[in-house]
Amino acid sequence: MATVTIGDRGRITLPANALQEAGLKPGDTLFVRVDKGLRTIELAPAENVWDALAEEARRQYASGQTRSLTEFARERGIELTGAGPDDRELRAGTFA
C-alpha cells in the first residue's frame, strides 16, 4: 500500500503504479465518493452511460437477442409508415 500527501491546494498525486494497476491514464474522468464515517475517498472511472448502453445494444444485436423494428412494431400492432416491405435498410449499418 502506498501513501500520498495532500498538498497546499488540496491536491494529491497518485502513484503511477497504482494508476496503472487500476487501468487509469492521464485525462481520465473519475467519480469521487466520500464515506465520512469511514473517512475514505473512493475513485471510479466515469463512464458515459450512453456509451455503455450502446455497447450493450451492440452485444445483444451481435448475439441475435434483438429483433427488427418491423417485428417489434408488428408485435405491438404499430403501423410503420415510410418503411419498405421489410426493414433491411433500417438494419444496415446500425451497429456495424
Closest C-alpha to 30, from 5, 22, 38: 22
Angle 10-15-20 from CA coordinates, rounded to 5°:
125
Do both 36 and 69 map to the same domain? no
Asked whether residue 65 falls in the same domain as residue 35, the answer is: no
Report the DSSP beta bridge partners of residue 35: 40
Asked if residue 96 belongs to a domain, the reply is no
Is residue 8 domain-resident?
A: yes
Length of the chain as a residue count: 96
Q: Which residues fall within 8 angstroms of residue 40, CB to CB, at 6 or more apart?
A: 34
Q: What is the pTM of this model?
A: 0.46
Q: What is the CATH number of the domain that holds 22?
A: 2.10.260.10
Q: Residue 9 corresponds to which amino acid? A: R
Do 64 and 75 share a domain, yes or no? Answer: yes
**Distance between CA 41 and CA 44 in Å, rounded?**
10
What residue numbers bound the domain in which 62 lies? 49-91
pLDDT of residue 84: 56
**Domain match, 21 and 57 both:** no
Q: Which pLDDT tens digits describe the chain residue by residue (96 residues)?
A: 889 999 999 999 999 999 999 999 888 899 999 999 999 999 988 887 888 888 888 888 889 888 878 888 888 888 887 655 555 555 444 443
Number of structural domains the chain divides into: 2
User: Residue 16: what residue type?
Assistant: A
One domain, residues 56 and 31 = no
For residue 59, being part of any structural domain is answered with yes
Q: How far is 73 from 69, CA to CA, in rounded Å?
A: 6
